[in-house]
């Protein structure tokens, strides 16, 4: 006989863990299905102040703050010889003015462990291979790594499976057509940076001096390590060759493009790129879905589509989507009639549209021009800074309101 839960959550990343914690606060039975085993490495180390708000609501912020994670108080940008920085302490509106750069293996493990400590059942090394949501309860078939299969029933399913997009794959809801595709190359280095121009409390985003739709990140994780990444359309990297005409791999591409940025040349002369940490390649990461809810389920965070990592909004937006979904789901499970389109999809889409507009403007160059223009007022910079801090749902911010019209 299949075991039944109030909610089955697919994925034990930050969105899934936060959803589990918030649901357990309300006393609902929760089971989390995670295909991998923890701890495991995943890119996406940079939180935003918005995410700190959600962690506080989930009751785990004090635990995260006690970890030796790197403080983050803003974001800096460089292009050719230009440099500018936005400090979260000088932003429009309310909300926290700091965040953290986290080791995702440790961060994710802390969150899911807290969910377990608060009563959620968590199954690692298991995959949802089918879902029947034609009638209540939703019926799920689960496969363990050993190949053994079993059934679970749920009053509701939350898909927090990230890039795997479990429910959209099962339903054929994934959308990639019409979305400009970018590739990502990334690793972690021993940066050995001592130059005073580098602020370890801020992400550093570098625009390539020649190709403005190629950009790089340098995210300090502690006093020795930094996460580094290269992002651009595949057309640039497919043709990249060394002097002997050999196509460049991930490590060579990263080193090549970083060496072409003036500020990186200045601050990273002693960086150790070959420290044994793997070099990773993620092709064509952008995707969408037909809808982010349906009969008996809702889709959270990156499982509902991922736009771009340029503003480090992924983790914090995913956790915020978990918060929004749980607010609606709590009322539904308590017997109230809810409207998932207006109360979840539209609310989630409000902030997502702000990020989409900002990302589009980043790649067409207009936002880059704005960022590096020193003539903008303090107030207008504070408005953009609030969005860079994750507060894309704050309708009191004129920047947010204008982005809705784009």
Ranges 48-52, 128-132, 233-237: which has the least confidence: 233-237
Rounded CA-CA distance 367/349 in Å is: 21
Q: What are phi and psi of 284, to 5 degrees?
A: 45, 65
Task: Give the chain's radius of gyration (CA, Å).
Answer: 21
Residue 306 has pLDDT above 90, yes or no: no
CATH code for the domain defined by 3-72+95-175+286-377 = 3.50.50.60
Q: Region 110-139: what's the mean pLDDT?
A: 98
Q: What angle do helix axes 346-363 and 378-388 make, rounded to 10 degrees?
A: 120
**pLDDT attached to residue 242:** 54
Judging by DSSP bridges, how do beta strands 30-34 and 3-10 pair with one another?
Answer: parallel
Rounded CA-CA distance 240/200 in Å is: 31
What's the CATH number of domain 182-283, 3.30.9.100, 3.10.180.10, 3.90.650.10, 2.140.10.10? 3.30.9.100
**Mean of per-residue pLDDT scores for the chain:** 94
Rounded CA-CA distance 144/148 in Å is: 5
Rounded CA-CA distance 178/170 in Å is: 21
Nearest one of 45, 51, 97, 52 to 221, comparing CA atoms: 45
**pLDDT attached to residue 259:** 97
339-348: per-residue pLDDT in tens? 999 999 999 9
Q: How confident is the model at residue 404 (pLDDT cuts 50, 70, 90)?
A: confident
Delimit the domains of the chain by residue range: 3-72+95-175+286-377, 182-283
143-177: per-residue pLDDT in tens? 999 999 999 999 999 999 998 899 999 999 987 66
pTM: 0.95
Q: Region 302-327: what's the mean pLDDT?
A: 91
User: What letter would DSSP give residue 339?
Assistant: -
**pLDDT attached to residue 58:** 99
Rounded CA-CA distance 281/64 in Å is: 29
């Amino acid at each position: 006989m299949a075991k039944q839960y109030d909610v089955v959550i697919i994925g034990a990343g930050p969105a899934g863990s936060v959803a589990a914690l918030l649901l357990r606060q309300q006393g609902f039975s929760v089971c989390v299905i995670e295909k991998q085993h923890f701890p495991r490495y995943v890119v996406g180390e940079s939180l935003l102040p918005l995410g700190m708000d959600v962690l506080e609501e989930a009751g785990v912020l004090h635990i995260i703050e006690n970890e030796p994670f790197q403080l983050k108080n803003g974001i800096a940008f460089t292009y050719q010889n230009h440099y500018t920085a936005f400090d979260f302490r000088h932003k429009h509106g309310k909300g926290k003015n700091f965040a953290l750069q986290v080791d995702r293996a440790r961060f994710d493990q802390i969150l899911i462990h807290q969910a377990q400590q608060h009563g959620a059942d968590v199954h690692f090394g298991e995959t949802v291979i089918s879902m029947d949501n034609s009638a209540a309860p939703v019926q799920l078939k689960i496969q363990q790594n050993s190949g053994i299969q079993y059934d679970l029933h749920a009053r509701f399913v939350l898909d927090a499976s990230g890039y795997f997009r479990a429910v959209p794959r099962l339903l054929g809801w994934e959308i990639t057509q019409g979305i400009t595709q970018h590739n990502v190359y990334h690793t972690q280095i021993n940066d050995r940076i001592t130059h005073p121009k580098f602020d370890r409390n801020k992400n550093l985003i570098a625009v390539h001096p020649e190709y403005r739709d190629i950009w790089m990140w340098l995210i300090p994780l502690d006093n020795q390590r930094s996460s580094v990444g290269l992002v651009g359309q595949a057309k640039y990297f497919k043709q990249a060759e060394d002097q002997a005409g050999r196509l460049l791999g991930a490590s060579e591409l990263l080193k090549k493009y970083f060496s072409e940025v003036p500020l990186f040349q200045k601050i990273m002369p002693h960086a150790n790129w070959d420290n044994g940490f793997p070099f990773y390649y993620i092709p064509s990461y952008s995707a969408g879905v037909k809808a982010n809810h349906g009969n008996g389920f809702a889709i959270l965070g990156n499982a509902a589509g991922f736009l771009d990592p340029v503003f480090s909004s992924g983790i914090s937006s995913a956790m915020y989507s978990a918060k929004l979904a749980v607010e609606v789901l709590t009322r539904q499970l308590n017997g109230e009639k809810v409207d998932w389109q207006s109360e979840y999809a539209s609310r989630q889409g409000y902030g997502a549209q702000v990020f989409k507009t900002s990302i589009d403007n980043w790649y067409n160059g207009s936002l880059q021009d704005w960022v590096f223009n020193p003539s903008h007022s303090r107030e207008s910079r504070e408005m953009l800074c609030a969005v860079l801090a994750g507060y894309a749902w704050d309708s009191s911010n004129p920047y947010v309101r204008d982005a809705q019209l784009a």
